[in-house]
Amino acid sequence: MRKVAIVAGGATKCGRREASWRDLVQEAGKSMFDSVDNISPRDIEALLVGAAQPERFTFQVHVAPMVAEYLGITPTKVIATTELMCASGQAAIRYAWACVASGMADIALAFGVEKMYMRDMAEAQTNMTCVLDREWDGVNGLSAPPFFAMTAQRHMFEYGTTKEQMAMVSAKNHHYSTMNPIAQFQKEVTVEKVLSSPMVSPPLNLFDCSGITDGAAGVILVPAEDASKYTDTPLHLIGSGQANIGNVVNNLASITEWVPLKLAVEETLRTAKITRDDIDIAELHDCFTISEIMEYEAFGWCEKGGGGAFIEEGEPYIGGKVAANPRGGLLGCGHPLGATAILQAIDVMQQFRGEVPKGRLVKDAEIAVTQNLSGAANVHSIMAYSRSPK
Amino acid sequence: MRKVAIVAGGATKCGRREASWRDLVQEAGKSMFDSVDNISPRDIEALLVGAAQPERFTFQVHVAPMVAEYLGITPTKVIATTELMCASGQAAIRYAWACVASGMADIALAFGVEKMYMRDMAEAQTNMTCVLDREWDGVNGLSAPPFFAMTAQRHMFEYGTTKEQMAMVSAKNHHYSTMNPIAQFQKEVTVEKVLSSPMVSPPLNLFDCSGITDGAAGVILVPAEDASKYTDTPLHLIGSGQANIGNVVNNLASITEWVPLKLAVEETLRTAKITRDDIDIAELHDCFTISEIMEYEAFGWCEKGGGGAFIEEGEPYIGGKVAANPRGGLLGCGHPLGATAILQAIDVMQQFRGEVPKGRLVKDAEIAVTQNLSGAANVHSIMAYSRSPK
Domain ranges for chain A: 4-120+213-235, 131-209+237-386
Q: Phi, psi (5° rounding) for residue A202?
A: -55, 130
Does the active-site annotation cover A155? no
CB-closest option in B78, B95, B378 to A65: B378
Count how many Cα atoms sit within 13 Å of the Cα of residue A108 in the half-sphere of its side chain: 30
Three-class secondary structure of residue B46 per DSSP = strand
Which chain B residues are Cβ-neighbours of A111 within 8 angstroms?
none
- Model pLDDT, residue B125: 85
Query: Which of A22, A60, A61, A66 to mutate: most B Cβ within 10 Å?
Result: A61
Count how many Cα atoms sit within 13 Å of the Cα of residue B61 in the half-sphere of its side chain: 29
DSSP string, B150-215: HHHHHHHHHH---HHHHHHHHHHHHHHHTT-TT-S--S---HHHHHHSPEEETTEEGGGBPPP-BE
**B78 and chain A in contact, CB less than 8 A:** yes
CB spacing of B1 vs A103 below 8 angstroms: yes
- Model pLDDT, residue B124: 87
Which CATH fold topology does B139-209+238-386 show?
Answer: Peroxisomal Thiolase; Chain A, domain 1 (3.40.47)
- Model pLDDT, residue A125: 85
**B134 and chain A in contact, CB less than 8 A:** yes
B18: pLDDT confidence band, cut at 50, 70 and 90?
very high
- For residue B153, is pLDDT > 90? yes
CB-closest option in A47, A98, A378 to B99: A98
Calculated CA dihedral for residues A247, A98, A349, A236, nearest 10 degrees? 120
Does the active-site annotation cover A99? no
- Model pLDDT, residue B53: 97
Which of B247-251, B291-295, B356-360, B365-369 bottoms out in mean pLDDT, i.e. has the lowest? B247-251
Alpha carbon distance B26, B13 (integer Å): 12
Total H helices, total E strands in chain B? 13, 12
CB-closest option in B52, B65, B134 to A247: B65
Q: Is B293 exposed, middle or buried (0-12, 13-18, 19+ CB in 10 A)?
A: buried
Three-class secondary structure of residue B62 per DSSP = coil
- Model pLDDT, residue A141: 86
Using CA atoms, how far residue A367 sits from A275, A320, A327, A356, in Å, is 10, 15, 15, 16
- Model pLDDT, residue B139: 86
Identical fold at A4-120+213-235 and A131-209+237-386?
A: yes
**Angstroms from A189 CA to nearest CA on chain B:** 32
Alpha carbon distance B29, B43 (integer Å): 14
* pLDDT tens column, B64-89: 999 999 999 999 999 999 999 999 99
- Model pLDDT, residue B257: 94
In B199-228, the residues whose Cβ lies within 8 Å of chain A are none
Please compute the mean of the pLDDT values over residues B353-377 and round it to a whole number.
98
DSSP string, A331-387: HHH---HHHHHHHHHHHHHHHHTT-S-GGG--TT--EEEEEEEETTTTEEEEEEEES
Largest CA distance in chain A: 56
* CATH match for A131-209+237-386 among 3.30.70.260, 3.30.70.120, 3.30.110.70, 3.40.47.10: 3.40.47.10
**B248 and chain A in contact, CB less than 8 A:** yes
- Model pLDDT, residue A107: 98
- Model pLDDT, residue A148: 98
Which chain B residues are Cβ-neighbours of A22 within 8 angstroms?
135
CB spacing of B83 vs A85 below 8 angstroms: no
Rg (CA), chain A: 19
Percent of chain B with pLDDT over 90: 94
In B264-323, the residues whose Cβ lies within 8 Å of chain A are 267
CATH 3.30.465.10 correct for B4-120+213-235: no
Please compute the mean of the pLDDT values over residues B232-238 and round it to a whole number.
98
Q: What is the pLDDT along chain A (390 residues), one digit of tens a residue?
A: 899 999 999 999 999 999 999 999 999 999 999 999 999 999 999 999 999 999 999 999 999 999 999 999 999 999 999 999 999 999 999 999 999 999 999 999 999 999 999 989 888 888 888 999 999 998 888 999 999 999 999 999 999 999 999 999 999 999 999 999 999 999 999 999 999 999 999 999 999 999 999 999 999 999 999 999 999 999 999 999 999 999 999 989 889 999 999 999 999 999 999 999 999 999 999 999 999 999 999 999 999 999 999 999 999 999 999 999 999 999 999 999 999 999 999 999 999 999 999 999 999 999 999 999 999 999 999 999 999 998
Three-class secondary structure of residue A80 per DSSP = strand
- For residue B366, is pLDDT > 90? yes
